Amino acid sequence: MENYPFEEKAKAIQEHFECYGQSQVFRFWNDLDGYQRSHLIRQAESIDLPKISEHIRAFLFPEQHKNTSAPDKTFSSAPYLKLPETEADQSLWEEAYVQGEAALHAGKVAVLTIAGGQGTRLGFEGPKGTLGVTPVHRKSLFQVFAEKIRFAEKKYGHFIHWFIMTSQRNHEETIQFFKKNHSFGIQHIHFFQQGLMPAVDFHGKILLEAKDRISMQPDGSGGVFRAFVGGSFVNILQYLNVEIISLCHIDNPLVNVIDPYFIGFHIQQRSNLSFRTIPKQYPEECVGLFVLCEGRTTFVEYTDLLPEQALACDPLGRLKLHAANAGIYIFDREFVQKLGHYDGPLPCHAAKKKVPAIDDNGNPLASTSANGIKFEHCLPDTLALASHSLLLEGKREEIFSPIKNAHGTDSPVTCHHDQLRLFAHWLTKVGVEIPVDASGLPPFDIEISPLFADNERAFLEKWASLSQKPVIGAGTYIE
Ligand code: UTP
């Protein structure tokens, strides 16, 4: 329609929306000036209306749209590679570590961080990656990740390319934050924006956030592949001979952004995509699960589980479905390329959220609770397209403490405590006496910079090499 006169094009698009029962999008048309009209038309044009209508129908009539994660299927827990228990296991893990390090020495690994979420539950103004999280220095999540990458760059003698996915809603602020902080010393950093999908009300009507603006929302963590491949980043990786992409969520400062064990197992098992899994702690915990469904490992969001499935226990009293998603992944470059071009059906989750919207008079709706539906593709659903995948168990206390909520579980406070417990544990391992409570929490703040060590193994090595050990007390910072 590019060559059509604007009025004709606008009319055709409005008719198209009318056919799909979405004419309300243009209800303020007569109030708009030329500039506003062309803005609205450009946005409307970018929407894949047949696809969105399918998602809307699936939300309004769920019983007619069962997908693989529908709860009536019989699930058992998905098999995963367990943490080492025996000496034989230890040597397997050691082999993986060596293989992972070889890939890192050869410059085969890049890092991808997804940071396009809106942090609705946290309610923090600004990109979540800019949130100060470390106990002593209050370093931001972005800085923690950057220092982990710099640690690996120094150790393996290569610059590591860091790709960061933002969304339209936080892109500019993210860029400015990195500019202000000189990219935290990272040389090769690439930002790209994920796609958007319109939010709808509970009747399936596309919402406006201003008279001339549709309420467009980030398309979920699963939007990463299309955006990444669309930005030609796979070509850059191919040119650099990078084969492995270590991908994590921005909200978890404990994550090993670069983990030789995980990379090694991924290579050994010829996996297309690999996940770290941790044991689900209690039935109501809000974590997605890996399950075995009709002989295939599948991902199920916690919202799609029936209460009886979430509560079921094995004879030893452990949760039957317990392989939780830690949001830590490794993808093969070639598989990412395939995902980026994939246009077939993948589940789309409808999340009830607070979204910007206006009322029939064009005034902003002041809503304190969810007022609309946001459609999201979920990254682990791509499992359905993998021919080889791997689940690798991790220790929760070492790799997982996400910041999701303002208070209570998975909040800044729990994350602060989890970091302290981990640092205290490392220090105890090298013989430092630290008073801790029954949960391992010390009574004061300490911090170990990822520039010193970003995991226990590296910490033990580095500590042993220090000729003069620091005195540890309240406020100690080790770098
Ligand atoms: P969550 O699903 O926990 O979402 O994201 P969130 O935005 O952080 O928080 P809520 O749900 O709005 O409260 C898990 C990871 O996926 C990224 C987030 O930035 C986080 O790193 N994500 C999520 C995206 O990059 N884009 C999205 O559209 C959604």
Q: Over 70: is that where the pLDDT of 65 sits?
A: no
Measuring CA to CA, which residue among 259, 253, 254 is closest to residue 142? Answer: 253
Between these two residues, 63 and 325, which has the higher pLDDT value? 325
Distance 461 CA to ligand 1 centre (A): 35
Q: For the ranges 13-22, 345-354, 422-431, 466-475, which has the lowest average pLDDT?
A: 345-354
Each residue of 107-121: pLDDT tens digit?
999 999 999 998 889
In this structure, which residue's CA is closest to atom 2 in ligand 1?
Answer: 117
Each residue of 167-219: pLDDT tens digit?
998 999 999 999 999 999 999 999 999 999 999 999 999 999 999 999 999 99
- Ligand 1 pocket member 356 (CB < 6 A): no
Q: What is the dihedral of CA 332, 334, 339, 341, to 10 degrees?
A: 160
- Ligand 1 pocket member 250 (CB < 6 A): yes
Q: Over 60: is that where the pLDDT of 255 sits?
A: yes
Q: Over 80: is that where the pLDDT of 232 sits?
A: yes
Q: Over 50: is that where the pLDDT of 129 sits?
A: yes
Measuring CA to CA, which residue among 377, 10, 20, 355 is closest to residue 216? Answer: 355
- pLDDT band (50, 70, 90) for residue 345: confident
- Ligand 1 pocket member 117 (CB < 6 A): yes
Contact 130, 141 (CB under 8 A): yes
Which pLDDT does position 247 carry in this prediction?
A: 98
Domain ranges of the chain: 1-46, 64-403, 411-479
By most ligand atoms within 8 Å of CB, the mutation choice from 118, 133, 374 for ligand 1 is 118
Question: Which pTM value belongs to this model?
Answer: 0.94
Each residue of 317-342: pLDDT tens digit?
999 999 999 999 999 999 999 999 99
If you classify domain 64-403 with CATH, what class do you get? alpha beta
Q: Over 70: is that where the pLDDT of 283 sits?
A: yes
Q: Over 50: is that where the pLDDT of 478 sits?
A: yes
- pLDDT band (50, 70, 90) for residue 68: very low
In this structure, which residue's CA is closest to atom 21 in ligand 1?
Answer: 249
- Ligand 1 atom closest to 249 (CA): 21
Q: Is 6 left (phi over 0), alpha (psi -120 to 50) or beta?
A: alpha
